[in-house]
Amino acid sequence: MAYVAHDESDYVPPAEVEEVELYHPKTFIGKYIWSQDAKVIAIQYSITAIAVGLVALVLSGIMRLQLGYPNTFSFITPGTYLQFVTMHGMIMVIYLLTALFLGGFGNYLIPLMVGARDMVFPYVNMVSYWVYLFAVLLLMASFFVPGGPTGSGWTLYPPQAILEGTPGASWGIILMLVSLAFFIVGFTMGGLNYVVTVLQARTRGMTMMRLPLTVWGIFMATILALLAFPALFVSCIMMTLDSLLGTSFFMPAIVSMGQQLDYGGGSPILFQHLFWFFGHPEVYIVALPAFGMVSDLISVHARKNIFGYRMMVWAILAIGALSLVVWAHHMYVSGMNPYFGFFFAITTLVIAIPTAIKVYNWVLTLWRGNIHLTVPMLFAIGFVFTFINGGLTGLFLGNVTVDLPLSDTMFVVAHFHMVMAVAPIMVVFGAIYHWYPKITGRMLNDTLGKFHFWATFLGSYAIYYPMHYLGFLGVPRRYYAMGNTDFLPESAHSLNAGITIVALIVGAIQVVFLYNLVWSYFKGKPSGGNPWGATTLEWQTPDTPPKHGNFGPTLPVVYRWAYDYSVPGVDEDFIPQNQPPGEKTRGLEET
Amino acid sequence: MTIALVVAAAIVAIIVGWLLRQTLNTKPWIEQQHPIENVRAESAWSLPPVKVGLGVFLAVATSLFALFISAYFMRRMGADWNTLADPMVLWWNTALLCLGSIYFQRARTAAQRGQIDGVKVGLLAGGAFTFAFLAGQLWAWQQLNASGFYLATNPASDFFYLLTALHGLHLLGGLWVWGRTTAKVWRGFEVADVRLSVELCTVYWHFLLVVWLILFGLLLST
Amino acid sequence: MAVAIVLVLLVVGSILFHFLSPWYFTPIASNWGMIDDTVTITFWVTGFVFVAINFFMAYAVVRYRYQKGRRAVYEPENKKLEWWLTGFTTLGVVAMLAPGLFVWAKFVEVPKEASVIEAIGQQWHWSFRFPGKDGVLGTVDTKYVSVENPFGINTDDPNGQDDVLIASNEVHLPIDKPVKVLLRSTDVLHNFTVPQFRVKMDLVPGMVPYIWFTPTRTGKFEILCEELCGIAHFAMRGSVVVEEQTAFHTWLSSHPTFAQSSSRGAGDAVAGDPLYATCAACHGPQGEGNLALNAPKLSGLQDSYMQRQLKYFKQGARGTHDEDVFGKMMAPMAATLVDEVAIENVVAYIKTLPDKPAPATVNGDAAHGKKIYATCGVCHGPKGQGRWSTNAPRHAGMSDWYMVTQLKNFKQGIRGAHPQDMYGPQMGFMADLLVDDQAINDVVAYINTL
């Protein structure tokens, strides 16, 4: 490696990352509909995901109505209740969170943050979105077919998923399986892009260890997803064949509704293994991007480098690798060989260690920082608090013995909503408040943002923290109604009603957020290119919002890591990644 | 699930191994690296993105086949598993696919040497043998059908149809790219314009040959 | 600033909630106190971490909140601190994991002296099997399951002949005796849970998982299915009655063995003919029912259902509620049937009566009723023909006015709430779906069209 003296550093050799030829469309449709620009695709993904997420939010409101006030609403029957449970879960986990984090944030941020003009395969990227949209439409179509959507729970366990006695066992489940298969195909197209872009299209000087943690999180999550989604794909295909062609992959001998069925020898446990081989990494597919983004939010708004960057990267890798060997902790009471419990309890609790390290490092980043309590920062703090809570209850469920009384109860529901719903959603909100100025050129309204934060943060804690205790009492999940039982105190029903009221309020308040998104797009305060004083490349683009091609005539050259905040001896409290050594930082006021 | 686990572990090991070469242990906040040092030099990877893309896709496909094979082994423990008499034509098919792979390899070598005629011959023969293989697979299905093994007769035959179909679909996907490349060659493109496509096809064919050999071994052994 | 205060308040509030709220584990009734201990250990470890990190974060937010002119400290990492924290976390994990694995080992190893019983789950009720005198359960297979052999017992296996069959949602267990429960399902996944026992396990068709426990407290405990098993999942309840040894034996010996239950004939219609004379006074000579006398149509009803209801009337599980005016009239009539044979005979006679559809008397919106009926049809059959496997009687072509009365009774707890009415509570849950009288009329109007 040739040594070049510092005074030559203004010399920029020709880029060794080849210039990509971008397809620049002329028409509106080409620009905004059939677009190959990752940023437009990102927004398409995000809007679709949020729209379908709103459907799922409404479904959850209906479920809460039933749980809080049983036998009051005639349109909620046991069948529709289960259908709502299923659709809510599946939409939120796959079609909202996975699509939003990887398809939305991944598409927007990866090329900008690594200093690329676009994804490496823009055409495939575009097809990825349209396949995703088709999957969403297929799923939504299941509301309108005979029998309605499937009501087999988001885990779709056979045999019941494809048998009479479960709603949507004929049309609904097939649409669900086919939709998932399409989602996986679409995702694989996108995922190839994310991985190869990070590997091959980083700009000059952007070593892996100079990547912002956001990119690390999305990168690792995509790798996990690429390896884990095939498991879901396999189980979808085999269950579709079981249902339509009468094979017996998952179906043992069964008497359904008094009739001997023509199945035999199959193993329902096999499905569960395949499902959770996908299902557990799925948790981290959602969590890792959230971890990455929240690291950047905390660092930027505390004006301090992320504490222990290397440890953070290693933790992401460790979590990613370990998450492939913990799946059966979802199956402690599934009837699988109980000796597996020992192995999976150990691996599961081991994964707590790198996760805990990440939490410590976030908090230690705040320590001795200069913390701006902006809306993104508030959401980041909200995330850390929620995630600590949800992570710790995970230690209950991951430890095989402690799981026994709690498995399949409301404790599980409370736990995974805390850790997988509220915590990532906090990051989603924080990230939107943080990057909205880059996407639109305008700030989101601060007052509305703060109101939105407090209502969402306090409200969701009030929903899910007490819910754990319903689980201790023994209230099972996926129960349409408890009825009169002798082991539940009357007060447990009042608690359920209370949770419902809070949930409906929190759900309704999200309208404020949507309003803010729309209002600020037209009326928001102009933000300039780098309102937060951040170092990463997406804030250094010549245009805000960035044009197709991102970086103007020449790609930026990276000279430093992503966390040069408050470097001693430098006037400004941040140094952009593309600022050559010895140059003065462009101040906030100049932008 | 052990097999899926081992395969996933191997893939993760490759990824982590590669990342470790990315100087994961450097302290990025220390400005020791000069700006001129760039991604390529540091990562020592000068592959075109499409090649890396194909590599990643092959990892996904490996995961997919490994999971199917895992499921195959778990399901085989069921009491109702009957051994299937595999049609003899499968041996011929295997030979055909091997030949296909060999001709793709020859096309690749020719492309590297810049011999357009060699590329033409290699591509044509490779494609022809692949079509012959697929036709042979269909014939094998016919034979099974004739001997009374339908899709839902027995888990062994279920898996036979499923695995061969999946493998065949992957080949069809490959043939689509092959078709585009061959058409290009015929329309008079230079060797340099198709070299990459030919290389990608070759790698993909070798991969699918290996997958088929594993699947075939599996089907034979049970 | 506000956020720091809120963090502290949330932490303190969470702890207070934990200690002060009335919601926690139900009092334990099995030997698995060790499980509660592992939960307690986990609470202490995680509670400490929860408080420590959040207080630290709250302090950091206050202490290092933005001040003009102040700069953050540039500290890329602190290896020593990070390794300390890692080590400390590992310790905490071991503290939780080690006792957990120790208890799990006990859960996996069933004590030798444990007696073996079988719990059978099917959509959506429980039944149970005891090994009988030879102490061995006979072999079973889902393939053998039929109306005559609902337990699916292998008739060729001599061990199965003396198995005691409990065709009921209620099982009794002796106190302080370890019991291994084999869990068998004939259709979909179910889960055997008794909250007070702490342990649970899925029932998986095609295999037989197990759990074991020792009941340590007498009383009646609810069995819940905790693995989603279809529409009536939430209504799949049962109960375990833990009692002293002698009471348990009395209970057990009151149930038939497999041999006894399969040798019993179908009832003698000829012998039933004279017995029916009493019934005919109200229900009509053809069993066609009589609205004026509030007697429903009987002909065409499944015999298993009629037998069960007659037994209930006889035992007092039906017709004893104060508000069940017409049920109270039926109870003394059922009492005239002296024993089970008499019940079987009269039912056999009713089966010979001609089955003519009862006239429609109820007006309602059948289109709306059809929507409601989607739920009913799952157990009662889409044509209202009834289903033996779900213990659901036929109602197509039966007396509609009677169904209206009974739906109201179920809804108000007049029927089905009696502890000995095994499948009544399920119907109670379902009747709750009908929010008002109009809904009841609508669904019955739809049944009239079937």
With a cut of 50, say whether residue B140 has pLDDT above it: yes
Which of A10, A162, A209, A329 is the best residue to mutate to test the B interface, defined by the most B CB atoms within 10 Å of its own CB? A209
Scan for tokens 């003919």, then name that residue: C273
C438 in reach of chain A (CB within 8 A): no
Summarize the confidence of residues A176-193 as an average pLDDT.
96
pLDDT of residue B192: 84
Chain B neighbors (3+ CB pairs < 8 Å): A, C
**Are C322 and C200 in a shared domain?**
no
CB contact under 8 A, C209 and A335: yes
In a domain, C70, yes or no: no
User: Closest Cα of chain C to B23: distance in Å?
Assistant: 17
With a cut of 90, say whether residue C261 has pLDDT above it: no
Total count of domains within chain C: 4
Residue in chain B lying closest to C79 (CA): B27
User: Closest Cα of chain B to C414: distance in Å?
Assistant: 49
Evaluate whether B133 touches B100 at the Cβ level (below 8 Å): yes
pLDDT one-digit tens code per residue, A324-369: 899 999 999 999 999 999 999 999 999 999 999 999 999 999 999 9
Closest partner CB to A565 (pick from C24, C72, C378): C72
pLDDT one-digit tens code per residue, C73-121: 998 889 899 999 999 999 999 999 999 999 999 999 999 999 999 999 9
Residue in chain C lying closest to B80 (CA): C206
**Are C121 and C230 in a shared domain?**
yes
User: Closest Cα of chain C to B78: distance in Å?
Assistant: 10
CB contact under 8 A, A384 and C57: yes
Contacting residues of A for C431, CB less than 8 Å apart? none
Q: Which residue in C313, C173, C190 sits closest to C248, CA to CA?
A: C173
CA distance linking residue B55 with residue C177, whole number of Å: 61
Structural domains of chain B sorted by starting position, each given as residue range(s) with its CATH number in brackets: 2-219 (1.20.120.80)
**Are C120 and C160 in a shared domain?**
yes
Residue in chain B lying closest to C74 (CA): B29
Q: Which residue in B151, A113, A489, A458 sits closest to C10, CA to CA?
A: A458
| Inter-CA distances, A481 with C197, C201, C203, Å | 22, 22, 22
**Are C379 and C364 in a shared domain?**
yes
Residues 6+ apart with CB under 8 A from C293: C282
C17 in reach of chain A (CB within 8 A): yes
**Are C163 and C271 in a shared domain?**
no
Evaluate whether B5 touches A320 at the Cβ level (below 8 Å): no
CB contact under 8 A, A404 and C6: no
User: Closest Cα of chain A to B121: distance in Å?
Assistant: 30
Taking only residues 41 to 100 of chain A, the set having a beta carbon closer than 8 angstroms to any beta carbon of chain C reads 70-74, 77-79, 82
With a cut of 80, say whether residue A261 has pLDDT above it: yes
| Inter-CA distances, A268 with A251, C206, C344, Å | 6, 8, 40
Size of interface B-C (CB pairs under 8 A): 3
ipTM higher than threshold 0.90 = yes
Per-residue confidence band for B42, with pLDDT thresholds at 50, 70 and 90: very low
* Lowest pLDDT segment from A12-21, C140-149, C326-335: A12-21
Q: How does the average pLDDT of chain B come out, rounded?
A: 85
With a cut of 50, say whether residue A507 has pLDDT above it: yes
B29 in reach of chain C (CB within 8 A): yes
Closest partner CB to A230 (pick from B50, B67, B158): B67
CB contact under 8 A, A270 and B49: no
Which of these three, C301, C321, C356, is where a domain ends?
A: C356
pLDDT of residue B11: 82
Parent domain of C409: 358-450
**Are C127 and C245 in a shared domain?**
yes
**Are C135 and C224 in a shared domain?**
yes
Chain C neighbors (3+ CB pairs < 8 Å): A, B
CB contact under 8 A, B22 and A580: no
Which of these three, C356, C382, C412, is where a domain ends?
A: C356
**Which has more pLDDT, A60 or B150?**
A60
User: Closest Cα of chain C to A449: distance in Å?
Assistant: 14
User: A38-72 b/e with 16+ CB inside 10 Å = b?
Assistant: bbbbbbbbbebbbebbbbbbebbbbbbbbbbebbe
Contacting residues of B for C76, CB less than 8 Å apart? 27, 29
Q: How does the average pLDDT of chain A come out, rounded?
A: 91
Tokens at A484, concatenated: 């009169």
pLDDT one-digit tens code per residue, C377-408: 999 999 999 999 999 999 898 999 999 999 99
Contacting residues of B for C77, CB less than 8 Å apart? 27
Contacting residues of B for A268, CB less than 8 Å apart? none
Contacting residues of C for B32, CB less than 8 Å apart? none
In a domain, C69, yes or no: no
Tokens at C284, concatenated: 């009509």
Chain A neighbors (3+ CB pairs < 8 Å): B, C
pLDDT of residue B109: 93
pLDDT of residue A586: 52
CB contact under 8 A, A266 and B78: yes
Closest partner CB to C96 (pick from A399, A483, A566): A399
C207 in reach of chain A (CB within 8 A): yes
Contacting residues of B for A191, CB less than 8 Å apart? 56, 60
In a domain, C325, yes or no: yes
User: Closest Cα of chain A to B166: distance in Å?
Assistant: 10
In chain A, % of residues over pLDDT 90: 80
C221 in reach of chain A (CB within 8 A): yes
In a domain, C71, yes or no: no
Residue C396 sits in a domain whose CATH number is 1.10.760.10
Residue in chain C lying closest to B78 (CA): C206
pLDDT one-digit tens code per residue, C223-235: 999 999 999 999 9
CB contact under 8 A, A79 and C388: no
Collapsing DSSP to helix, strand or coil, C36 comes out as helix
Q: Say what angle helices A268-301 and A375-398 make with each other, to 10 degrees.
A: 150
Q: Which long-range contacts (CB under 8 A, 24 or more apart) does B103-107 make?
A: B103/B129, B104/B198, B104/B201, B104/B202, B104/B205, B104/B206, B105/B202, B105/B206, B107/B198, B107/B201, B107/B202
Taking only residues 177 to 236 of chain A, the set having a beta carbon closer than 8 angstroms to any beta carbon of chain C reads none
**Are C120 and C256 in a shared domain?**
yes
User: Closest Cα of chain A to B105: distance in Å?
Assistant: 25
* Lowest pLDDT segment from B81-85, C154-158, C336-340, C445-449: B81-85
User: Closest Cα of chain B to A423: distance in Å?
Assistant: 27
Which of B26, B29, B81 is the best residue to mutate to test the C interface, defined by the most C CB atoms within 10 Å of its own CB? B29
Summarize the confidence of residues B88-110 as an average pLDDT.
93
Phi/psi for B157 (5° steps) reads -75, -35
Summarize the confidence of residues A213-239 as an average pLDDT.
95
CA gyration radius for chain C? 29
pLDDT of residue A8: 38
Closest partner CB to C23 (pick from A361, A393, A492): A492
Per-residue confidence band for A20, with pLDDT thresholds at 50, 70 and 90: low
CB contact under 8 A, A371 and C61: yes
Which of these three, C313, C337, C356, is where a domain ends?
A: C356
**Are C413 and C377 in a shared domain?**
yes
In a domain, C73, yes or no: no
pLDDT one-digit tens code per residue, A471-483: 999 999 999 999 8
**Are C329 and C393 in a shared domain?**
no
Closest partner CB to B24 (pick from A195, A209, A564): A209
Residue C237 sits in a domain whose CATH number is 2.60.40.420
CA distance linking residue A174 with residue A142, whole number of Å: 9
Closest partner CB to A267 (pick from B31, B60, B78): B78
Q: Which residue in A453, A458, A452, A383 sits closest to A421, CA to CA?
A: A383
In chain C, % of residues over pLDDT 90: 70
Taking only residues 69 to 128 of chain C, the set having a beta carbon closer than 8 angstroms to any beta carbon of chain A reads 70-78, 81-82, 85-86, 89-90, 93, 96-97, 99-101, 103-105, 107-108, 122-123
In a domain, C418, yes or no: yes
pLDDT of residue A330: 94
**Are C259 and C176 in a shared domain?**
yes
With a cut of 70, say whether residue C362 has pLDDT above it: yes
Residue in chain B lying closest to A264 (CA): B80
CB contact under 8 A, A160 and C372: no
Tell me the pTM.
0.93
pLDDT of residue A591: 37
Residue in chain B lying closest to C77 (CA): B27
User: Closest Cα of chain A to B181: distance in Å?
Assistant: 18
CA distance linking residue A296 with residue A536, whole number of Å: 9
Per-residue confidence band for B10, with pLDDT thresholds at 50, 70 and 90: confident
CB contact under 8 A, B74 and A245: no
pLDDT of residue B46: 62
Taking only residues 125 to 164 of chain C, the set having a beta carbon closer than 8 angstroms to any beta carbon of chain A reads 141-143, 145-147, 152
* Lowest pLDDT segment from A392-396, B218-222, C320-324: B218-222
Q: How many CB atoms lie within 10 A of CB A543?
A: 12
In a domain, C328, yes or no: yes
In a domain, C335, yes or no: yes
**Are C313 and C243 in a shared domain?**
no
pLDDT of residue A10: 40
C76 in reach of chain B (CB within 8 A): yes
